[in-house]
A and B are shown apart, each in its own frame.
Chain A
């Protein structure tokens, strides 16, 4: 079979150069040298294509790797910020409302002044109970500022989240019914003692 192909190829007529080949050649030799390559051909040389592809791949990889870092604010990478309203929603779940927590809505002018003097815009609930609840009012009268109300929390767990608002830290706690009752009782006593300190 190959022999037939070879024979067919051998039988092809020979193609000759044109008659004016030499004269045209001398003309072309005497012409000044010119470059056929355009600037596009110079940039997209076949030899440069693999290097260019490698460079583009490296840039893409760097971009992807750099995008995973959290050094800069990237809305697609950062976790959503915890808003102060989360405190409200957490507090609404059988816990404190922000209003209750700060006490600002239930406090009178004196209480407000005390809070503002100490740059406190919230009453921090700590996990440690200090003092007897009945003596809260006397404690409050003794200290000039209301910075802390200690409430025993039964439901406290070590991994509960801490949130920040207004420069202060809040610990979100869940209170049971009994605790809530106790807290309301304390609040009542507090509000009563603040209004009439001499009564107690």
Chain B
């Protein structure tokens, strides 16, 4: 509604087309997530979709990476989440928050990927080649697990996260890393708030046992 009001306001104030376009972009960016989705649903405004992608690509990547522990897989999962949002935009109902909706999609895809990886046998890279040579993964500048995770401590924490139960892991990541509220986490995971707190507590306890040698330092 705010968008429409602004639209009619600048239409009279700014007859110049270029000015109009700039202001339209600015108006879109000041809209809330839910308003952008409505704009995207009703007018198929690609710009609204792009703005939402900009807002959520990094938080979702962080969440999925901490859950799966693999950067390549996490970018694929987040891409797939955005594609599903694009193709099924009409399935979003403005009753729920958009962040809850997109986190739910990403969380479900991450769990599916996790289960698929568990089922399959991943061969070690050392088994390739007749002479058992080690093949190095090509260095990519955007791999945060190499650039940002400079400390061994971060890797140990990430490994400990991967060792706890997936349900506890998701709850702990959403609460302690993504800093979402209990109610939002309950909606994302489809459980009660009390269960969320219980899972978070158990996840933290498991992490505590795994990381006791770190925080003693």
Interface residues of A (CB under 8 A from B): 1-2, 4-6, 8-10, 12-19, 21-22, 24-25, 28-29, 33
Top 7 closest A-B pairs, CB basis?
Answer: A13-B148, A17-B57, A9-B176, A15-B144, A18-B142, A17-B61, A4-B215
Q: In the docked arrangement, what's the CA distance between A14 and B176, Å?
A: 12
- A17 near B176: Cβ-Cβ < 8 Å: no
Judged by a CB distance under 8 angstroms, whether B79 is at the interface is yes
Judged by a CB distance under 8 angstroms, whether B50 is at the interface is yes
- A25 near B148: Cβ-Cβ < 8 Å: no
Closest to B71 in A: A15
Count of residues in B whose CB is under 8 Å from the partner chain? 39
Closest beta carbon of chain B to A66's beta carbon, Å: 36
Q: In the docked arrangement, what's the CA distance between A28 and B80, Å?
A: 9
Given A6-B176, A9-B176, A10-B177, A15-B65 contact (CB < 8 Å): yes
Which of B62, B79, B211, B215 interacts with A28 by CB under 8 Å?
B79
- B157 near A12: Cβ-Cβ < 8 Å: yes
Judged by a CB distance under 8 angstroms, whether B207 is at the interface is yes
Q: In the docked arrangement, what's the CA distance between A151 and B99, Å?
A: 103
- A13 near B208: Cβ-Cβ < 8 Å: no
Q: Mark B135-154, 1 if CB is under 8 A from A, else 0.
A: 00000001011001100001
Contact partners of B154 in chain A: CB under 8 A: 12-13
